[in-house]
Amino acid sequence: MGDALVLMEGIDKSFPGVHALDNCRFELQAGEVHALVGENGAGKSTLMKVLAGIYRKDAGRILYLGQEVEIDSPRAAQDLGISMIHQELNLMPHLTVAQNVFIGREPRHGAPFWLDERAINQETQKLFDMMHLRLDPRTKVADLTVAKQQMVEIAKALSFNSQALIMDEPTAALTEAEIDELFRIIRHLRNEGVGVVHISHRLEELKQISDRVTVMRDGRYIDTVQTQETSVESIISMMVGRTIYESSPELPENPDQEVLLEVRDLNRGTELQDINLRLKRGEILGLAGLMGAGRTEVARAIFGADSIDSGEILVRGQPVHIRTPRDAVEQGIGYLSEDRKRYGLALGMDVEANVVLAAFDKFLRALGWVKQAETRRTAQKYVEALAIKTPSMQQRVKNLSGGNQQKVVVGKWLAANTDVLIFDEPTRGIDVGAKSEIYKLLNDLARQGKGIIMISSDLPEILRMSHRVIVMCEGRITGELSSQEATQEAIMKLATQRGEIVADGGTGANSREAQFA
Amino acid sequence: MTTDTTELTTSVRERRALFRSDATQKLLAFAGLIALFVVFSLASPNFFKFDNIIGILLATAVNGVLALGVTFIIVTAGIDLSVGTVMTLSAVMSGVFVTFWGLPIPLGILAGLATGALAGFVNGIAISKMKIPPFIATLGMMMMAKGLALVISGAKPIYFNDTPAFRQMAMGSLIGRVIPGFEVPNAVFILFGAAIIANLILTKTVLGRYTVALGSNEEATRLSGVNVDAWKTAVYALGGAFSGLGGVLMAARLNSAQPALGAGYELDAIAAVVIGGTSLSGGEGTILGTVIGAFIISVLTNGLRILSVPQEWQMVVTGAIVILAVYADIIRRRNQ
């Protein structure tokens, strides 16, 4: 084997207050798919942004085909043949597909300022033909699905004759079928001799797509291994530096029989049909099902975010009328949306303001004067109780990690004296390491007598955390399982009760199951 | 893997939906303009008269030209509050060149355009290099241009009495010489000519492409290797040049550079752009829409005046129209 396509050595990069990369190394061969994994904040994206010319390295050197190169701008990287497809797609939604592909280097016609639109469209069509992609170059990007937009980004990268293609979490927003399509194109590129860097959180994908894996942790290079010779478990332990997934569930005892929340015959259009459920004090009730099964809709109906056609909700045995989220909060019900950043937090405000937000009335004097000492004290209390890692109460929430943001949301509901907490995908987008902290928190809350409904698409998570599991399919509850009865297979069967039962045994099936919704 | 057919059909369907909604928007503004014409024609016999129509066209010329420039800036998701007073400053500079210094008229016109472009260039530098929000940067330029116009002119109007050709340039009628009786002033053709040029720039040139790209996703444009700062500066300079042209037209029409005039014109220009369907969040807008928007404002003003609606109420109506136009746009987007 000759020189590596890309070799990065001794790369150092600091941002104010953060040593993001510490003596990092990375090697990419032509014609390989190289996965780059690590927890959030491990430095994967930063390292690749150095390679793509978005960040300047503080130290170290980059060799491209054996030659030392200085990459000081995205343009310089592109000129070498290095392109990066970012997590947030970088397209101009108002321009057409072809206009996006050729942005910044449009072919001219006649005069140096005159665009040659026909050439732009033709060249783009050629790229799509090469990728075996059927897409009209004149379509506006705003009208494409995320998956198709990603294809446009890939076409754009290819139009630079890219020899190295960096993809930052390309599968995060795609469906299973779209991922297959993406992988088909990635394999096609690999066979053409392109070196592909695949940054991913989804470890189950590694086996499907990558040849080698490089693991990073805390801004440092850990190791590079052959994918086929390495188990997912050992990659995880390299990522976190410790073994993380204990297989046995650690459920708190649940002796209390008081029913905190009961839902009777709840109906809402075709979304929800005859929903009945009971949640006891100190219980974690898992709500499982496929995407679109109606789990979030149940939560929203209980929380008063959506109106219901018929049905009854009882809190501590008393029938209540919940028409708005405010009513739900007064009844002691809190909902923690899966989209924390949009619905759960005021990101630009500090920790203190967020914690007291849902119970703000309690902190007001006459004329809307805020009792500052009290809000400070309350926030302090929950920051300590929940072990939220923040430099101060005045830290803006957007600067916290995903796990700590989740804890701030929990703190907010606890400050509002909530008894029933509905968690919608509580660990989505949270590091492997921080997950176990969230699990511990859920267990603690249950032990303290809260009732918890946990909606999750992560089957191991449901199995590990739930006292009982309710499974939904197409807006109906198709079954209830005790923690002894619940297995991945049993839940799958109920979740697909209408459709065909997925029988995809063996270890390879983990990939399917882990992201089965 | 043969998911191709489904993809194709979705994309076609999506495109049709888009086409439909784009067309509706244009139609809506245009239909609004026609409706105003019909209503005013029925309401007053004096409205649909040759002289009055010429009056409307002439009144649109200055605001229309300003709005053309503002269109580019708003498409980049920016704003320019300085167009009104930069117009005045440009008019004053034309006056300085032609009346004070006795230079030839073409140089005077050039001075007006260059003054506008220079002011726009300064706006662009403040916004792209100094990272000052467009609202603030152009607010500052608005004040500076106003002050400079007063200082340079000595706070007195500069008349073009010795150079009647300056006034003739805009107010004379070349076409009237070809077709007797059809005395449409040149200013109207200057507006249409400027609109055609603006449309070509926006749709066919690199500058236009990057104008849209900047408004659509500035960061993505930067990461694509486009020199975002330079192009943004160019867009503001272009907008300024249109203000300069507006200043020259204004001076020719009044046969004088009036240093106290101009404040408030920026709002009419912005209103015309917005009525024309250009999105304040950037990325989309058309020159045709802006021209229609500018005409809607002048027809409205003219028609209401003919119906003897007091000027105060004209403002109320215009304001309401702006809000309704934007609301219609929001409804359209929501349904999309």
Which pLDDT tens digits describe chain B residue by residue (336 residues)?
334 434 444 444 444 444 445 566 667 788 889 999 999 999 999 999 999 999 999 989 999 999 999 999 999 999 999 999 999 999 999 999 999 999 999 999 999 999 999 999 999 999 999 999 999 999 999 999 999 999 999 999 999 999 999 999 999 988 888 888 888 999 999 999 999 999 999 999 999 999 999 999 998 898 888 889 999 999 999 999 999 999 999 999 999 999 999 888 999 999 999 999 898 889 989 999 999 999 999 999 899 999 999 988 888 988 898 888 888 777 777 765
Lowest mean pLDDT among A53-67, A247-261, B217-231, B235-249: A247-261
Q: Does B216 touch chain A (CB under 8 A)?
A: yes
Query: Is A148 within 8 Å of B11 when comparing Cβ atoms?
Result: yes
Q: Does A113 touch chain B (CB under 8 A)?
A: yes
What are the pLDDT digits (tens) for A424-481?
888 876 766 677 778 888 888 888 888 999 998 777 788 888 989 999 988 899 999 9
Q: Does B18 touch chain A (CB under 8 A)?
A: yes
Write down the pLDDT at residue A141: 92
- C-alpha closest to that of B127 among B249, B230, B213: B230
Listed by start position, the domains of chain B span 25-36+45-335
What are the pLDDT digits (tens) for A363-374?
777 777 878 888
Write down the pLDDT at residue A393: 83
Q: What is the distance between the alpha carbons of residues B299 and B301, in angstroms, rounded to a whole number? A: 5
Query: Is B205 within 8 Å of A115 when comparing Cβ atoms?
Result: yes
Write down the pLDDT at residue A462: 87
Distances (CA, A) of B122 to A69, A474, B92: 37, 60, 18
Percent of chain A with pLDDT over 70: 90
* pLDDT higher than 70, residue A508: no
Q: Mean pLDDT of all residues in chain A? A: 83
For residues A341 and A31, the model is more confident at: A31
Q: Taking residues A72-77, what's their average pLDDT?
A: 87
Q: Taking residues A215-241, what's their average pLDDT?
A: 85
Query: Is A135 within 8 Å of B226 when comparing Cβ atoms?
Result: no
Q: Does A110 touch chain B (CB under 8 A)?
A: no
* pLDDT higher than 80, residue A40: no
Nearest-CA distance A1 → chain B (Å) = 33
By Cβ distance, the residue of A106, A134, A177 closest to B209 is A106
By Cβ distance, the residue of A113, A142, A180 closest to B206 is A113
What are the pLDDT digits (tens) for A151-205?
898 888 888 888 999 998 887 667 777 888 889 989 999 998 999 999 986 777 8
CATH code given to domain A6-240 = 3.40.50.300
Q: Does A172 touch chain B (CB under 8 A)?
A: no
Q: Taking residues A143-151, what's their average pLDDT?
A: 85
For residues A351 and A64, the model is more confident at: A64
* pLDDT higher than 90, residue A133: no
Q: Does B52 touch chain A (CB under 8 A)?
A: no
Cα torsion through A41, A44, A50, A53, rounded to 10: -110
Searching chain A, which residue's CA lies closest to the CA of residue B9? Answer: A135
Q: What is the distance between the alpha carbons of residues B275 and B263, in angstroms, rounded to a whole number? A: 20
For chains A and B, CB pairs below 8 A equal 93
Write down the pLDDT at residue B286: 93
* pLDDT higher than 80, residue A512: no
Write down the pLDDT at residue A504: 38
Nearest-CA distance B290 → chain A (Å) = 18
B241, two tokens: 């040049």
Spell A213-234 as b/e; 16+ CB within 10 A means b: bbbbbebbbbeebebeebebee
Query: Is A92 within 8 Å of B213 when comparing Cβ atoms?
Result: yes
Nearest-CA distance A501 → chain B (Å) = 22
Write down the pLDDT at residue A94: 92
Write down the pLDDT at residue B206: 94
Contacts of B1 in chain A (CB under 8 A): 180-181, 184
Q: Does A134 touch chain B (CB under 8 A)?
A: yes
Cα maximum dimension of chain A = 82
Listed by start position, the domains of chain A span 6-240, 248-332+419-517, 345-416
By Cβ distance, the residue of B3, B17, B220 closest to A91 is B220
* pLDDT higher than 80, residue A248: no
Tell me whether domains A6-240 and A248-332+419-517 share a fold: yes
CATH 3.40.1350 fits B25-36+45-335, yes or no: no
The complex's ipTM works out to: 0.82
Write down the pLDDT at residue A403: 78
- C-alpha closest to that of B330 among B277, B283, B288: B277
Q: Does B73 touch chain A (CB under 8 A)?
A: no
Alpha helices by DSSP H, listed for A372-453, are 372-385, 402-415, 432-447
Write down the pLDDT at residue B4: 41
B96, two tokens: 């300085």
Contacts of B11 in chain A (CB under 8 A): 135-136, 139, 143-144, 148
By Cβ distance, the residue of B3, B215, B219 closest to A181 is B3
Nearest-CA distance A370 → chain B (Å) = 33
Fold of A248-332+419-517: Rossmann fold (3.40.50)
Nearest-CA distance B284 → chain A (Å) = 7
Which range of A80-94, A357-371, A498-512 scores highest in mean pLDDT? It is A80-94
Q: Taking residues A115-130, what's their average pLDDT?
A: 92
By Cβ distance, the residue of B11, B206, B215 closest to A136 is B11
Query: Is A93 within 8 Å of B207 when comparing Cβ atoms?
Result: no
Contacts of A106 in chain B (CB under 8 A): 206, 209
Which of B4, B7, B8, B203 should one mutate to test binding to chain A, selecting the residue with the greatest count of A CBs within 10 A? B7
Query: Is B11 within 8 Å of A139 when comparing Cβ atoms?
Result: yes
Contacts of A180 in chain B (CB under 8 A): 1
Q: Taking residues A306-318, what's their average pLDDT?
A: 90
Contacts of A91 in chain B (CB under 8 A): 217, 220
* pLDDT higher than 80, residue A507: no
One-character DSSP codes across A194-262: -EEEEE-S-HHHHHHH-SEEEEEETTEEEEEEEGGGS-HHHHHHHHHSS----SS--PPP-----EEEE
Categorize the per-residue pLDDT at A28 as very low, low, confident or very high, splitting at 50, 70 and 90. very high
B16 Cβ contact list (under 8 Å, min separation 6): none
